[in-house]
Structure 1
Amino acid sequence: MGAAARKPDAGLFPCEAEIARRLSQTPADWRARAVVLERDGLPRIDPIMGGRYWPAVLAYFNKRYGIASFGPSAMDGTENLDALR
């Protein structure tokens, strides 16, 4: 299913016009900026899915602006569930 045949805001792989809208860009401005941002790690358009994986696009911008997601913290010891009684 090509980009033209699917819904513009289709789930995890939105079309470029929808990504531009979500990022407050015009489609033309987004096309130009995406070329530059891809050199910095912006996910490319997946050739099979026909769009950029939206969670990866969000992760790219979160990392770019210092809001990277955090992983699980180190365990601080064994849980003692008997202490709850």
Structure 2
Amino acid sequence: MSRSCPSRDAGLFPSEAEIARRLSQTPQEWAAKAKVLERDGLPRVDPLMGGRFWPAVRAYFLARYGLAGAEALAPDGPENLDAL
């Protein structure tokens, strides 16, 4: 098993151990689950970069749980509760 590099884990192609940590999994759990999820569209490890593109992994999970089009909206102004 390869060791994580702190500076690499903060980047766009984190180690598998860091992805496991971000997803609240052990590295062993993640390795088994990633194989299954790849069949469903989870981005694979990029051979050139040596890791999964984190924004694509995040987008995969947001879509998996129906949040792909959800985004936070800016407030439209102060609330006027007297108008109710």
Q: Fold-level match, TM-score > 0.5?
A: yes
- The answer to whether the Cα contact below 8 Å between 1:8 and 1:18 also exists between their aligned partners in 2 is no
Q: Runs of 5+ in structure 2 lacking a partner?
A: 71-84
Give the number of aligned pairs. 69
Identity %: 69
Structure 1 match to 2:22: 22
Distance 2:36 2:9 in 1: 23
State the structure with more CA Rg: 1
2:36 matches 1:57: no
2:29 aligned partner, one-letter code: D
TM-score, structure 1 normalization: 0.73
Distance 2:23 2:4 in 1: 20
Moved segments of 4+, more than 3 Å: 3-8
2:59 aligned partner, one-letter code: A
RMSD value over aligned CA atoms? 2.2
